[in-house]
Structure 1
Amino acid sequence: MKIILLGYMGSGKTTLGKELATSLNYNFLDLDDYISDKEHSSISHLFQSKGEIYFRRKETQYLNEIINSTEDVVIALGGGTPCYANNMESIISNPEIKSFYLKLSIPILAKRLFNERANRPLISHLNSEEELMEYIGKHLFERSPYYSQAHHIINANDKEQQAILEELLTHLI
């Protein structure tokens, strides 16, 4: 089985994905890390040197490579992955995949992301939490129709990591 975690940056996909994989004795893959390894380049460098269209094509190629493998794996998607190239359709139509949207409010996402924005090229130029909240709000407006197609929506607001992990596991066991 493949378990896919999706949601906006800062929603905890990687952190929870590693914990979930350990609990299930599955491997864990962060799709952005997988792409970086395969392309021998950072995601930000790929965007800068080859452009978003190239990146999105490779993202879809590698996502399909992973979901068509026979390996049991927990996969953390990039925040934009569900929104391009019928990626969400490939995820929800595959009976071997369970997908989870880790849903958080805009203020909580902004609070999480503001202090780490220097490590996130898409938001590094934003200088206030207000600007960041506006940016996140715009993206979530565009992305929510895709995210909401996940098999399960986990409201992660005001929940400890362990509680979210337990909720994920109840949908799998």
Structure 2
Amino acid sequence: MKIVLCGYMGSGKSKVGCLLANKLSLKNLDLDEVIEKNEHMSVAEIFSRKSEIYFRKKENEVLKLLLSNSESFILSLGGGTPCYANNLELLKKNKEVKLFYLKADVNVLSDRLYKEIETRPLIQSQKNKEDLNDFIRKHLFERQFYYMQSDVIIDVTELTIEETANLIQQKL
């Protein structure tokens, strides 16, 4: 089984994935980290040096490679992964994949992401928390179509990382 976590940046995918992998004794993978390792630079550096288009192509290549692997794992996607190329189709047609959407309220995402604004290439240009909130709201509206096609949708707005991991475990 391949447990795949999707959702907007700041929804807790990476932290939940790590905890869940420990609980289930599975390999934990973070798609952005795999890309960073392969490219020998951070996602922010890839965006600035090579472009978002280059990053999205690499994201698709690495996702295909990981999904072709026969071993079970937990995979945390980047926030935009399901929305580009044929990534959602790859996830949906793979019978081993169980796709979970970690859905969080816009205000919760804004609070979390405002603290990390310098390390997130897509939001670095936002001047203040209000602009960030508007940006996230617009992005979520665009991405909701893709996220909502997940096998399981979990509202994580008021859940801890532990509670979210436990809920995913129950839904398997």
TM-score when scaled to structure 2?
A: 0.96
CA distance in 1, matches of 2:97, 2:132: 33
| Cα distance per residue 1:71-118 (max 9 Å; x no partner) | 211001000110011101110111100010000010110011111212
Q: What is the match of residue 95 of structure 1?
A: 95
Within-5 A mapping of 1:23-172: 23-172=23-172
Q: What is the match of residue 18 of structure 2?
A: 18
Shift of 1:39: 1.3
Q: What one-letter code is carried by the residue in structure 2 that aligns with 1:38? A: N
Shift of 1:127: 2.7
Q: Which runs of 5+ in 1 are unaligned?
A: none
TM-score when scaled to structure 1?
A: 0.96
Structure 1 residue runs of 4 or more that deviate by more than 2 Å after TM superposition: none
| Cα distance per residue 1:36-65 (max 9 Å; x no partner) | 111112112212222222211110000010
CA distance in 2, matches of 1:8, 1:23: 23
Q: Which runs of 5+ in 2 are unaligned?
A: none
* Corresponding residue pairs, total: 172
What is the Cα-based RMSD across aligned positions, in Å? Answer: 1.0
CA distance in 1, matches of 2:107, 2:53: 30
CA distance in 2, matches of 1:12, 1:69: 25
| Cα distance per residue 1:111-170 (max 9 Å; x no partner) | 111112122122123232111110001100110000111110001111122221111001
Identity %: 44
- Answer with 156-165 or 18-27: which moved more: 156-165
